[in-house]
């Protein structure tokens, strides 16, 4: 972390990419599983999967460095991230029922929340509980320094409800295996256990759910942030009334982003562990 602070931003990000590729090289077993996952889910050749997985390791190496440097880059974040569709956030907040910002471990999601916080949006984010509590706390501290309030550890529904009642934006990453607590709906065309907590919140409070994601641009240093209109239920029904269908809609959005930018998704994670013995 100290090295990341000493180096210039572009140099630090390049070092992060190199570190990611080195980790990929020295993690043959994990890399092989990620490659097989990629071949199966995208229907690509093994050679193309190797390119995607190598790119993914490099991307997340960059993203880790960028996250560490986020408090330092916060004041200049508008020079790094260009946003489209921010009006959807403000229009949803006018309803007074909070907003659920649906995203995934793709691109540079931390910069999305920080950008909105800088623009005056009341931002909170549910943080995944890490194996080491010190890492969980470090992530929460970095977010807080960028204007994003951490919401509990893991899916803390009580804290999430309070966030919605305060008419805040709650950022949720919905591309992790929910195991027995989820519903089985397609993700990249294959059944996966999908979290339903945010969907039930949307149903209970009439909270708009806005899909959004941040993608790294070709120069590796700038990002494009796209905020989409709120998801709507099938046949005019409110989103969340049909939990399985709503979960499928969420997965459809995330799957589309992954297909468009496969090198920027976290293939190393066993997304289908509950359904395909994907470890």
Q: What is the pLDDT of residues 45-54, one digit of tens each?
A: 999 999 999 9
257 neighbors 251 (Cβ within 8 angstroms): no
Res 236: pLDDT = 78
Q: How open is the CA angle 83-110-272, to the nearest 5 degrees? A: 110
Q: What is the pLDDT of residues 151-179, one digit of tens each?
A: 755 556 788 899 999 999 999 999 999 99
1 has pLDDT over 60: no
pLDDT at position 129: 63
In this prediction, residue 277 carries a pLDDT of: 81
Q: How far apart are CA 240 and CA 232, in angstroms?
A: 9
Confidence at residue 35, expressed as pLDDT on a 0 to 100 scale: 97
What is the band of 209 on the pLDDT scale with cuts at 50, 70, 90?
very high
Q: How distant, in Å, are the alpha carbons of 21, 55, 173 from that of 25?
A: 6, 12, 28
Eight-state DSSP code of residue 46: H
Say yes or no to pLDDT of 26 above 70. Answer: yes
Q: In angstroms, how far is CA 175 from the centroid of its own chain?
A: 8
Asked if residue 189 has pLDDT above 80, the reply is yes
* More reliable by pLDDT, 258 or 125: 258
Q: Work out whether the CA dihedral 169, 174, 177, 183 comes out positive or negative.
A: positive
Q: What is the pLDDT, as a whole number, of residue 267?
A: 98
Q: Can you give the pTM of this predicted structure? A: 0.92
Please, are residues 215 and 264 in contact by the beta-carbon 8 Å criterion?
Answer: yes
Report how far apart, in Å, the C-alpha atoms of 26 and of each of 29, 57, 91, 240 are.
Answer: 9, 12, 47, 43
The angle at the Cα of 240, spanning 94 to 244, to the nearest 5 degrees, equals 155
For the cut 70, the answer to whether the pLDDT of residue 3 exceeds it is no
Higher confidence at residue 195 or residue 147? 195
Over residues 53-102, the pLDDT tens digits come to 999 999 999 999 999 999 889 999 999 999 999 999 999 999 999 999 99
Q: Using one digit for the tens of pLDDT, what is the confidence trace for 223-232?
A: 999 999 999 9
> Can you give the pLDDT at residue 278?
81
- pLDDT of 2 > 60? The answer is no
Residue 130: band (very low, low, confident or very high) from pLDDT cuts 50, 70, 90:
low
Question: pLDDT band for position 148 (50/70/90)?
Answer: confident
């Amino acid at each position: 972390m100290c090295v990341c602070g000493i180096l210039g931003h572009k140099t630090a990000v390049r070092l992060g990419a190199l570190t990611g590729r080195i980790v990929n090289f020295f993690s043959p077993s994990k890399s092989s599983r990620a490659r097989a996952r990629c071949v199966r889910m995208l229907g690509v050749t093994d050679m193309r999967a190797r390119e995607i997985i190598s790119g993914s390791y490099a991307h997340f190496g960059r993203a880790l460095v960028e996250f560490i440097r986020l408090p330092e880059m916060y004041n200049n974040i508008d020079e790094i991230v260009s946003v489209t569709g921010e009006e959807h956030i403000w229009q949803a907040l006018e309803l007074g029922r909070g907003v659920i910002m649906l995203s995934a471990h793709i691109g540079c999601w931390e910069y999305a929340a920080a950008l909105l916080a800088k623009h005056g949006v009341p931002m909170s984010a549910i943080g995944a509980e890490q194996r080491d509590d010190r890492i969980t706390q470090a992530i929460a501290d970095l977010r807080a320094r960028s204007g994003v309030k951490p919401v509990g550890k893991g899916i803390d529904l009580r804290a999430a409800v309070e966030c919605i009642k305060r008419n805040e934006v709650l950022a949720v990453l919905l591309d992790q295996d929910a195991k027995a607590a989820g519903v089985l709906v397609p993700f990249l065309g294959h059944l996966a256990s999908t979290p339903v907590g945010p969907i039930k919140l949307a149903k209970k409070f009439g909270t708009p759910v806005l899909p959004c994601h941040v993608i790294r641009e070709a120069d590796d240093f700038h990002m494009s942030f796209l905020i989409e209109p709120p998801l709507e239920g099938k046949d005019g029904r409110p989103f969340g009334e049909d939990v399985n269908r709503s979960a499928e809609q969420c997965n459809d959005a995330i799957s589309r982003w992954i297909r468009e930018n496969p090198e920027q998704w976290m293939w190393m994670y066993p997304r289908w562990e509950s359904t395909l013995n994907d470890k």
